[in-house]
Structure 1
């Protein structure tokens, strides 16, 4: 770090997390309630909290920071609530409804469900305008652009008070001139409107995906611009010497202007930093196969890292909208601390996906919430301290938690409050385990080959139960777990993706020259952009990927390769990489079949200096941290067990404790179930391992089965 501080801010649905690192290696975490109606207010509140606890003013922090980084859910929330900008679409005549036709089928999982409702269109039919123009698949112009029809579309949009316009024409990636000319006309007639040009935002083959991506970008752009402008202005008022960086869905940082122009990259901004943080947590043990779970107040996010590389997805349906740009693959469930327990029409207990959020929040928050939530269940089970969360700043009322569970669940089901609470705990855990299976088992990975990394303020109460259920024996939880995504942001690099269509068969010198020129052109742009951002060449790295398929296949797969000069001879390297990837994904390959490329992409990273790793002092025995005991419930009987409670701040490196136990950190609570052992490492990470021989809930036969 070149300056005194680095600040990371991760805005979630319930809490906004703040991580402050200084040049000495000290890292501190703070939490403030999120303010969905005005996201910037949570930033002000959090900086005020930091000043209250440390005496360091916001001005001192910001003016002495080399990087202030913001991960935001503003774009995600706008997409979830359909509260984006009034958007218009200019498309090739006859293709105005491609976003509604959706390739002729519903999303996977609902393809044959006649009752599944259609997605809400971000651009309603009356705001979609077709114009005469046509480019063929070889890039030749078949029908010239009718400029008057573009002007008529603009006049219509002006009458309808459209804020943002997306332009997407068929085969524009091979001949972008029609889109660029239409964009000139829109800027001339609607100078205040936000404009997204499909061939510039997502220059890849596949018209439906490109159009949908452009629409999502246009829909979010005004929202993100207002947010970025407000945040940038606030930090400038505090004396910021460097621009605020924003976290992107591709796992890297970007300037505010980039996020405004490419707002679609900000959709999954917060959880996309989890893989980077997890690798940092696991580094002392050399672990690179990681499943990271982040349970906050509203949602549960899961990411998988294999051999040190996070899963990256393209061309996915996200919240029912097709998005083409690369995004860190995040499985998100409606399973958080605020998930509401309810009884379905069959009389069965269910959890979520509805959430009490932060307003009004769980019943125990005493803010008007009346529905029983996961947090109410954890408090009733004894896992949470009734004195409150976030170091007592958020008091909890156990009587209100019990009353909500009793009234809404226990009495209707005819069971005790404790049994109902443990049922809530078990069901929400099963929901989360199913999500873990989707990112692992359903993609060919055995979760038992991975280490489980805990993140998020609510995860600690569930982490050993999740690991036990999924069969994982090793869990790593940092003292920074409740703000791990914010921590991931401050150790991440600037990252940009540059794309180009490349419909070419991997045969001959001409194909090799074309691919080599495309990659070199993309990378020259990327390097120039980063050098303009004060990155020297030695701090810039390049990764390449190609979307490839066998000739005749409908869909392609993405193959990552290191940069090298592409010659006719080296085409064999690309073919070999594709065959291997195809076999990995689909269990077979066809070495005798011809291979073609559809798109190419270069990922350019500007590497930032990392803050020093956190170190904690050696401990003097866990007994020194013992605060007392609480009755807790660890099985479906509802019976309580008197359990030791430890103060995390008094535990040091080398301290070991055995479950059942609870460790109370300032911003999270870690439940160590029977059979588990926690060993605090000098990096501030709890290494939690399972030994069935010490689990008093497991029968002898079951223990032998598990050991076998």
Structure 2
């Protein structure tokens, strides 16, 4: 990457679309545009116009000088949340049409014994699940040959019903996939315009229900994401882009447009999945490797935990009530964003969210027709946010509208002052976020006091000090790029594909470990060939192996990362010790004398890209008081009450390395505002990160 070349990360969120442009000299620029869910190219065009104006270069020249253009999207997530996928059919083994509803015989965790908890909406209606007479046994033996006429009749039925996507999933196809592959071949032949999702291609591992559900989710979302990917790619190419377009996946890596369209299920958590990569980059100069990254945007609050530099990855989980087997960065998501609406329940109690005002109509202060008080309105009323404009003056707001909405809907009904009502909203959303942080830390055996908080998202820095104080964290890092941290994280990532296979085997003296090694080598040969087609030389391809293992008789397995280690008689004892240690870390106990078995294998394959150089900001002004641009009355907690303090507002764009700010105060960057309550300090590091410490 030369000084004349650029890299562009674009993260399309529910409220704003973030753009981070990096050049070869280490300079990072952040831009924001209002998201346009109905047509993502409009927001991208807006962001590119801002970049063009800032660089005084035409959009075509900027795009032609990009080494990398990567896009994160919420299209698949929103389609699943709103159940706006396509009409989907399922071809399955006869007798297994109801596996989606049986759901392994129980409800999701937390609702297992709740008789009133409603069933999940089915992505494939019952009449669109067509049984096929075929049967493969667990050892791969064909018990009943596939009746191809059943498949053809299903295709004719799907055509008559206007089905746009078909999922194919047969029992024990992971042991012998000949039936599943032939069925998919027939579907593609008879329904050439229909999206086909094959369980053996999407999730080729053990667990029939998980494989079927994953294939169905992929089919349900595939055409929606495929249209989006095609539209975005064509937009860039039509405007002068020469470099490959990449899209961000839930597994924390990039993919080509072709792979993204074929694996729509991998885009569900596309946005927040890049935050841990950015957090590690921000924390590296300080030597921190235990990180909790929190991202508060307009509609949601996302939390990820990184321990010793490794972020947890989930497989085989219920996400939005649908079982998904493919790897996803472990993200805890709450309905707690700047647009979260405050309301009073029938008991007269103040609540916040999960309903959101979103981008339209947005908070009351946005002057777009919103009448309900939101978290953003509370921050305006508390004096934390500029009451006149945001985003460096690009977005005009009406601070009085925030106070009026809070007074009318919350303060007056509860008999409170506007200040107390606003602080109540602020405090409640903080409690909701703290509970989420505890779920990813304390409930998984981690003490949050051993971690550093990393702020991401435009609204996070308004709350981060209060969150840290409540959970006992003494150090917080807030990068200047916080509100676009996910877009920045995309620029730091590699192309990443997961190649999986089932390989059930008891580990004893009779185990054919050579079969496991051969499976790995077969997967990796396919992976290397795929990345070679994308232009990666062999020395730019990195491979990491995992084994899903369990004690014989257990229901669930856990993943053991073995790096590039081969599997054989000389390594299996070491692998067994790694499994015992992993099991103990997850479940507090190990059984080193019990027999273990391998269930699945996985090779994670990376196409490695060079990271952009780190930026270095110039020294500070020495006396930060010279960059105070205003004073505002701000409301802070004082024991069990609140107090109003006249506090300085610092122009963050004029601060430099080494400048120290003491609370109470607010630091206004262009795209975020950092609230420092009394007792907190912020020092701007040369890396462009504010280091917040609690001195109280």
After TM superposition, the score normalised by the length of structure 2 is 0.98
**1:507 positional shift:** 2.2
Task: Determine the structure 2 residue equivalent to 1:75.
Answer: 76
CA distance in 1, matches of 2:374, 2:55: 33
Partner deviation per Cα, 1:687-708 (whole Å, 9 max, x = no partner): 000112xxxxxxxxxxxxxxxx
1:118: which partner in 2? 119
> Residue in 1 aligned with 2:660?
656
Q: Find the counterpart in structure 2 of residue 676 from structure 1.
A: 680
Could you report, residue by residue, the CA deviation over 1:518-572 in whole angstroms, capped at 9, with x for unpaired residues? 1111112112211221112222111111110111111111111122222213111
Within a 5 Å distance, the mapping from 1:42-57 to structure 2 comes to: 42-57=43-58
Determine the C-alpha separation between the residues in 2 that align with 1:43 and 1:509.
Answer: 58
Q: Is the 8 A contact 1:509 1:567 kept in 2?
A: no
- Give the match for residue 279 of structure 2: 278
Distance 1:304 1:565 in 2: 29
Q: 1:637 offset after TM fit, Å?
A: 3.6
Q: Does 1:432 align with 2:430?
A: no
Comparing 519-528 with 86-95, greater Cα deviation is found at 519-528
Once the 2 structures are TM-superposed, how far is the Cα of residue 48 of structure 1 from its aligned partner?
1.4
Residue by residue over 1:205-247, the C-alpha shift from the partner in whole angstroms, topping out at 9 and shown as x without a partner, is: 0000000000000011101110011011111111211221000
SS at match of 2:546: strand
Structure 2 equivalent of residue 551 of structure 1? 552
* SS class of match (2:378): helix
Tell me, in whole angstroms, the C-alpha distance in 2 between the residues paired with 1:49 and 1:638. Answer: 41
Structure 2 CA distance, aligned partners of 1:509 and 1:670?
A: 62
TM-aligned CA deviation for residue 346 of structure 1 = 1.0
- Post-superposition offset of 1:52: 2.8
Shift of 1:185: 0.9
Range with bigger deviation, 446-455 or 612-621: 612-621
Please state whether the residue corresponding to 1:382 is helix, strand or coil.
coil
Question: 2:111 & 2:153 partners in 1: Cα distance?
Answer: 38
1:691 to 675, 684, 695: 695
Q: Decide which of 632, 642, 662 is 1:630's aligned counterpart.
A: 632
What is the distance in 1 between the residues matched to 2:301 and 2:525?
39
CA shift for structure 1 position 489: 0.3
Q: Distance in 2 between matches of 1:428 and 1:523?
A: 46
Partner in structure 2 of residue 41 of structure 1: 42
User: Any conservation in 2 of the 1:39–1:74 contact (CA below 8 Å)?
Assistant: no
Per-residue CA deviations over 1:455-484 (Å, capped at 9, x if unaligned) read 000001001001011110000010000000
TM-score by length of 1: 0.97
Counterpart position of 2:170: 169
Superimposed CA distance per residue, residues 270-301 of structure 1 (whole angstroms, 9 cap, x where no aligned partner) = 10000000000001111110000000000000
State the SS of the aligned residue for 1:67.
strand
Residue 207 of structure 2 is aligned to residue 188 of structure 1: no
Equivalent residue, structure 2, for 1:647: 651
- Structure-2 separation of matches of 1:427 and 1:270: 25
8 Å contact 2:52–2:62 — kept in the other structure?
no
Quote how far apart the aligned CAs of 1:510 are. 4.8
**1:306-336 superposed Cα distances (whole Å, 9 cap, x missing partner):** 0101110000100000000000000000000
User: Which residue number corresponds to residue 248 of structure 1?
Assistant: 249
Give the root-mean-square deviation of aligned CA atoms.
Answer: 1.0
Secondary structure, counterpart of 1:391 in structure 2:
helix
Equivalent pair of 2:40/2:232 in contact (CA under 8 Å) = no
Q: Is the 8 A contact 1:507 1:571 kept in 2?
A: no
**What is the SS of the residue equivalent to 2:396?**
coil
Counterpart residue number, 2:614: 613
Quick one: distance in 2 between partners of 1:365 and 1:587? 50
* 8 Å Cα contact 1:497-1:604 kept in structure 2: yes
The secondary structure found in structure 1 opposite 2:597 is: strand
Aligned-pair CA distance for 1:509: 6.5
Distance, in Å, in 1 between the alignment partners of 2:694 and 2:375 is 24
553-562 or 4-13, which deviates more: 553-562
Task: Give 1:588 shift.
Answer: 1.3
Conservation of the 8 A alpha-carbon contact between 2:388 and 2:399: no
Cross-structure match for 1:146: 147
CA displacement 1:153-207 (0-9 Å, x = unmatched) = 1011000111110000000011100011101110111011110110111100000
What is the SS of the residue equivalent to 1:688? strand
2:27 is the counterpart of 1:26:
yes
Question: Alpha-carbon deviations, 1:368-393, whole Å to 9, x = none?
Answer: 00000000000000000112111111
Distance in 2, Cα, partners of 1:598 & 1:463: 42
| Matched-pair contact (CA < 8 Å) for 1:509–1:568 | no
Residues in 1 aligned to 2:421 and 2:112: alpha-carbon distance in whole angstroms: 36
Partner deviation per Cα, 1:474-527 (whole Å, 9 max, x = no partner): 000100000000000011111000000010011247521011111111112112
Rounded to whole Å, the distance in 1 between the matches of 2:190 and 2:88 is 16
Q: Which runs of 5+ in 2 are unaligned?
A: none
SS at match of 2:577: helix
Asked if the contact 2:545–2:565 (Cα under 8 Å) also holds between the matched residues in 1, the reply is: no
Equivalent in the alignment of 1:343: 344
* Residue 100 in structure 1 maps to residue 104 in structure 2: no
- Per the alignment, in what secondary structure is the counterpart of residue 512 of structure 2? helix
Q: Return the offset for 1:111.
A: 0.7
Give the aligned partner of residue 133 of structure 2.
132
Query: In the alignment, which residue of structure 1 is the partner of 2:297?
Result: 296
Residue in structure 2 matched with residue 418 of structure 1 by the alignment:
419
Q: Does 1:89 align with 2:90?
A: yes
> Structure 1: how far apart are the matches of 2:215 and 2:301?
28
Q: Counterparts of 1:299-698 in structure 2 under 5 Å?
A: 299-508=300-509, 510-621=511-622, 622-635=624-637, 637-692=641-696
Rounded Cα–Cα distance in structure 2 between residues aligned with 1:266 and 1:678: 36
Deviates more, 1:235-244 or 1:451-460: 235-244
CA distance in 1 between counterparts of 2:180 and 2:208 reads 13
Identify unmatched segments of 5+ residues in structure 1.
693-708
Q: Distance in 1 between matches of 2:674 and 2:186?
A: 59
Alpha-carbon shift at residue 631 of structure 1 (Å): 0.3
Question: Is this contact kept in 2: 1:292–1:454, CA < 8 A?
Answer: yes
1:65-94 CA-partner distances (Å, limit 9, x unpaired): 010010000000000000011110001011
SS at match of 1:628: strand
| Structure 2 SS opposite 1:634 | strand
Partner of 1:697: none
Deviates more, 1:371-380 or 1:572-581: 572-581
Give 1:638 deviation, angstroms.
4.3
Question: Partners in 2 of 1:674 and 1:126 — Cα distance?
Answer: 62
